[in-house]
Structure formats: structure tokens, C-alpha cells
Structure 1
């Protein structure tokens, strides 16, 4: 039985811009599910804002407190002044499954290392303030093996609990992966055992 904790994610992409000593800092927040989502989003940022001086970014995939992957990139800014500050804000605000790209148009006035850290941090923080966020509910994943006679009642029970049925295969029996809200996981296992008179197999 695998249980994932609930965490905060973006409801929709969001954009926010600030100006600091004539430089424009534009933060684009995008929901992402895996590493494959990153490059297309970066390419889109470059297409939307051509001729910018820097496209700095950071992402958190998974729960920000226990992420599967994190990364940051300064894209030519002095080391540690852009990507890492962006990432720090995402993690401090505990937002997961998110990519933040900050586009900078240089305004002619150098900000210095401290000024850059503040600017990249501030625009990311303000973008999160303006974004629509939601909480992903804790889910428990199980592999279930049942006979054909119980497939429909299984589907109905999952729908009633707000769960999902995935990767169904039909052979001598029905084998499937299910996701159930964690608060109902024990109830679901007890129900399935009773419904099948103990003939179901539940694997973690």
C-alpha cells in the first residue's frame, strides 16, 4: 500500500511582472507532472518573450516537502542569484508539480548579486500570491485482483469513494490498479474482502 501526502499545486498557469531598476522580471508559473513537461514550457516562454536577456527557471515535481525531482538554472545570471532563489521560494511556499520561469529584460542598470536574488525571489513570491492554488488530496494506491463477477461493483464503489481505476487487465481474473482517498483506504479494503467473501487479492 503506497500513500502519498496531500500538497499544494497550481490550478492554472499564471503570469506576473515587476520592474526593478528598469529591468523587467516576468514570472511564468506552469503546472508540470514530470520532467518531459519542462522543455516544452521553456520553449514556450522563449517564444512568448523573444529577445529577453535571461530565462531563469526552477521546478519542483511531486510534493514540495518530499519532491521526486527539483532543479534550477541561472541561464547566464551570476551563479546562485536566480534559479536557486526561485526554487527556494517554491519550496518555502510548499508548492509542488510546478515550473517557474522568470524572464528578464535587462534595463541597463546592474543590480548586483543581492539585488538579483531579491528581484528573482520577489517576482516568484508575488506570482504565487496572485496564482490560483489547490490542494491535491492524499491518495493510496493498491493493486487488486478480483473475479469478473465483482468488476462492476468495484467500479461503483470506487466512484462513490472518489477513487479511480487504472491499468485494468483481463485474464483468468481481473487485475487492476486503484487509487483511493487515503481516509477511505481501510474501509475500501474491508469492503472488498467482504464483498468477495475473502477471495480478492489486495497488493501494496
Structure 2
């Protein structure tokens, strides 16, 4: 079960005279993630390292730190927290003390993880888009049952024989809703999972 952030969050800490500031935000596209990084990056900072994960897509950037010591630990923090559809930027202002590869991994990964822990999260629900039909008399009861199961109406098309509905619903309850629709419409619901 994956989670995402409900709103952007931030965390800051000092590690051996270097200041680290982490910024995290919910994102749904790569372009959104890249805009977030551009907005929050500090050109005066020594390094602006980041990672994002959106479904099966992920990417990270070490921004001049030794390979694998910044971006990858940020991505591992995202995955370790069970997060998805998030972008995390960790900005470092060098304080004069070298941390070494292990120290950098702990600093970037730890700062990212602390930022994600501080953020408010919500569960990502896998939605299916469904189409079905019903008669005019059955519409109020069917819509009530669909809404009670968490369905959100996208479109209603009224015709001479009844109403064609298109809605999203949590994929976990779609099979149960199909049975409910068949019972209400006496098997005339013409149920179709569109995506």
C-alpha cells in the first residue's frame, strides 16, 4: 500500500557544520516534479540534490556530489517510507567539514526521510473508470449505492431508454458494485470497465 503527501513539507538540520534543507511535495507528473525542483533549488547552495518516484517512473540527481551519495539515498528514503507520487529536494550548504561517502549517504537519506516523516500523508487508492447503464427509475438508488462505495460520477448521458453513467471507483470494490448494479437493474446494467 503506497502513500503520498497531502501537501508540501520541509525539514532542516545541521550535520558537521553543513546545513541540509529538505523539501518534499506530492506530484503526479515528471514535469510537475521538475518544476518543484526548479522552484525550491537555491543557486547559492553548494548542492541541490533530488529524487522523485511516480509509479514505475523514478529519477535522481547527485548535483556534483560523488556518484550514488545523494540522489540514490533520497530515492531510497522515498521507497523506504512507502511513498509514491512524491518529489524530494535536499539542498546542502557546505560548512567546511567533509563527510565522506558514508556520511553523505546518511545525511541526504536521513534528511529526506525526516522530511517525509514530518509530512501529512494519504493512501493512494487505485481507481477504475467504469461505464454502466440503468433506467430512469433505477437511477437514484444506483447513484446512492455507487456514492456509498466511494464512486465519483464523471458523466451522465440521458437517452430515450435510460441513463449511461461513467464514473471512477476504488478498484477493490468494482466487482461488488457490478453485482449491486446488476441486482438493481435486473441484469440490464451493461457494465464495462473502461480503465
TM-score class normalised by the smaller sequence = 0.7 to 0.9
1:190 matched to 2:179? The reply is: yes
Q: Displacement of 1:199 after TM fit?
A: 1.4
1:75 to 42, 45, 63: 63
Superposed counterparts of 1:35-46, under 5 Å: 35-46=30-41
TM-align CA RMSD: 2.2
Q: Name the CA distance, whole Å, in 1 between partners of 2:36 and 2:139.
A: 40
2:128 counterpart residue number:
141
Q: What's the CA shift string for 1:82-135, capped at 9, x where partnerless?
A: 100110111122111111100111112222222211110111122223222232
2:169 counterpart residue number:
179
Q: Displacement of 1:194 after TM fit?
A: 1.6
> Are the counterparts in 1 of residues 50 and 89 from structure 2 also a CA contact under 8 Å?
yes
Q: Name the CA distance, whole Å, in 1 between partners of 2:46 and 2:96.
A: 11
Q: What's the CA shift string for 1:60-101, capped at 9, x where partnerless?
A: 11xxxxx33111111121111110011011112211111110
Q: Name the CA distance, whole Å, in 1 between partners of 2:74 and 2:152.
A: 34
> Are the counterparts in 2 of residues 144 and 200 from structure 1 also a CA contact under 8 Å?
no
* Contiguous gaps of at least 5 residues in structure 1: 1-5, 62-66
* Contiguous gaps of at least 5 residues in structure 2: none
> Are the counterparts in 2 of residues 158 and 180 from structure 1 also a CA contact under 8 Å?
no
Closer, same or farther: CA 140–41 of 1 in aligned 2, 3 Å: closer
| SS of residue in 2 equivalent to 1:201 | coil
2:152 counterpart residue number:
164
Q: Name the CA distance, whole Å, in 1 between partners of 2:50 and 2:86.
A: 11
| SS of residue in 2 equivalent to 1:79 | coil
Q: Aligned pairs, how many?
A: 189
Superposed counterparts of 1:88-127, under 5 Å: 88-127=76-115
